[in-house]
Amino acid sequence: MSIPGSRATPPDPPGSRPPDPTRLFLVRHGQSTWNGQRRIQGQLDPPLSALGEMQARRLAERLSGRLFDGFYTSDLARCRVTATTVAAEIGMNPEPLTDLREIALGEWEGLTREETISRYPEEWARWERKPSWDIVPGSEGAEAFEVRVHRVLDELLERHPHGDILIVTHGGVIQVALGRTIGNRSHGLFPFVIDNCSITILTKGRARTVISGVNDVSHLHDGAVAALARRDRSGGLTPQH
């Protein structure tokens, strides 16, 4: 029954509704043994720490039962193990992709902040004045890293024009993805806090990509996991992703 003076709204014609957006669920790996030691990782391959394994299990519980249209991981161990832990809860196996690796940090990989200062005093002094990945001897470099990250994320967005995509990767990769969304480039220090096993969500619609959430760690912030995470959180100028 129509209301007098009102107009009936015709249904949308077939195909007129915009497609559902693609959402990238970007997850940083659980804490590694080197995160706990505040040692620069880059593309070296330390395992998860006991805390990192616990974080991965909490992440898996958080994502349990959620449906994803794609599941990808960096091929480095700290990501693969995190992703494998999640896989058992969501019923999907992750596809490893080399391009999802952290930035390669050349001769600084494997060193602590103190060791870096001792062995590379000139480069460290330049880093403190104006941080840049291009200062690091043998580094992949800021531009090459950004190009790689943009390329792999664009390929995944093309592969999945809609739906939710789960990506287990590294802090630097997530920072570059966020930076592009807000129109910033990163040459050294990153502007966002991206904790281990946090969830960051980018939503790509028809016209633009927006940030739907950053560094969600609500699944970690209770009991012993929260206490350990606060105690072991990395800090300082040294890149430790």
Residue 77 lies in a domain: yes
The domain that holds 174 is classified in CATH as 3.40.50.1240
Q: Is residue 135 part of a domain?
A: no
- Residue 222 or 76, more confident: 76
Cα–Cα distance, 195 to 179 (Å, whole number): 16
3 lies in a domain?
A: no
Looking at the domain assignment, is residue 121 inside a domain? no
Q: Assess if residue 123 is contained within a domain.
A: no
Phi, psi angle pair for 150, to nearest 5°: -60, -40
**From 102, 109, 140, 146, the catalytic residue:** 102
Q: What are 135-181's pLDDT values in tens digits? A: 999 999 999 999 999 999 999 999 999 999 999 999 999 999 999 99
Question: Could you tell me if residue 83 is inside a domain?
Answer: yes
**29 annotated active-site:** yes
Q: Is 102 a catalytic residue?
A: yes
Domain count, the chain: 1
29, 170, 219, 241: the catalytic one is 29
| pLDDT, mean of residues 47-64 | 96
d(CA 97, CA 100): 6
Is position 193 within any domain? yes
What count of other Cβ atoms lies within 10 Å of the Cβ of residue 227?
A: 11
pLDDT tens digits for range 78-127: 999 999 999 999 999 999 999 999 999 999 999 999 999 999 999 999 99
Domain containing 169: what range?
22-105+140-232
pLDDT at 10: 52
